[in-house]
Amino acid sequence: MCRGAEADGELDRIEVWQDAHWRLTFSLSSEVLGFSYLEPKRHISHIHSLDGDEAKTFGPALARCTAALKEATGADVVYVYIFGDGVPHLHLHLAPHRPGDALSDQMIRGEIVEEKLPNGMTRFYSEEFPGLPREDLQETAERVKGLLNP
């Protein structure tokens, strides 16, 4: 994640929006329609390391991105969470939630499987909820892009 756009292909994500401090990438390998990552352009490991301008724009960027994801996916809500002990670059997981989808209070319902990727990263997924068709993910990414880049 620290390599920004350079790593997007390797992480199977596309950038749908950016400003001076933030970028939103959309996962093209997900069980959740609209699953995205909001991350600062500057390399920092933790949220407490945001500088003045990053900190000032964090709330507005998060609100704008979650609103676009909610509208583009028809979600009732967009969950926001931060994990990152295994990835030393701040990134927020944005997960639109619709009734009956793969999300639950355990993040993803069903038996969780870990898959080691060729790049050394680990992908977690549910056997009960296979990845969504790439075409559906790509189409929704384009809707989000259109909402954020009028």
Strand partners of residue 116? 122
Could you list the pLDDT tens digit for every one of the 150 residues in the chain? 455 666 665 667 889 999 999 999 999 988 899 999 999 999 998 898 999 999 999 999 999 999 999 999 999 999 999 876 677 789 899 999 998 888 766 667 778 888 888 888 887 778 888 788 999 999 999 999 999 998
Q: Alpha helices, DSSP H only, in 47-133?
A: 52-73
Q: Give the integer Cα–Cα distance in Å for 107 and 144.
A: 22
Return the axis-axis angle of helices 134-148 and 52-73, rounded to nearest 10°: 120
Number of domains, the chain: 1
Q: Which pTM was predicted?
A: 0.73
The CATH number of the domain holding residue 98 is 3.30.428.10
Residue ranges making up the domain that contains 20: 4-148
